[in-house]
Amino acid sequence: MSDTTERNKARGARLLIVGPPGAGKGTQAKFIGEKFGIPDISTGDIFRYNIKNETPLGLQIKAIVDSGDYVPDSLTNQIVADRLERDDAKHGFLLDGYPRTLDQVTFLNELLAEQGRPLEAVVRLVADQDEIVGRLTKRALEQGRVDDSEEAIRHRQEVYIRETEPLIDVYREQGLLIEVDGLGEIEEIAGRISSALAARGIGEAEDISVS
């Protein structure tokens, strides 16, 4: 492990990552987590784990989803608050998939302010919608996913834009937003993120190698 990597991990970081479906957000989230030695916390993964393992929380979430309702902010907020209390998140964290509403933004800001550890940055992967739709449509055809039509893919992109735009505006106004070109090779994008964070005084830029 290089000295730069050790210093980045010693520093930690408190971050969010947002990006459209198909922009490789999960891959970059993993890279950021490894870079700073912090957990990559995905609310979607937490939901799926609990549903799959039929935990009390999972049964509650499944019942809500099966009824066609959204998981309420109050429940999602509590799940995130509990997760951030774990020892591995004391040094920092990367949230992926949360917050999704303005009420969740308010809750998270207040929670972190109470703990004296506010967010440091929100990394936004920016990518041309037509480029992503073309890529995902091609992948769906190659994998035989006939239900994943271009229309369905484009709809998900539009939903993402509609839901996240208000949140992005809030974080932009707070001076937390870092926008990074999300198109290109994995290591190239990772390098852009590393440099953009370092320019804000969050860690140090380093040679990127994503396995």
* Residues classed as catalytic: 25, 100, 139, 145, 156
| Largest pairwise CA distance in the chain | 52
- Which two three-digit tokens encode residue 5? 């990597």
Block residue for tokens 């700073």: 36
C-alpha to C-alpha distance for 203 and 19, rounded to whole angstroms:
21
Minimal CA–CA distance to 43: which of 90, 138, 91, 108? 108
Minimal CA–CA distance to 161: which of 18, 25, 20, 24? 20
Backbone angles phi, psi at 123, to 5 degrees: -90, 120
Block residue for tokens 């040094």: 91
C-alpha to C-alpha distance for 189 and 198, rounded to whole angstroms:
14
Block residue for tokens 């969740």: 104
CB proximity list for 145: less than 8 A, separation 6 or greater: 139
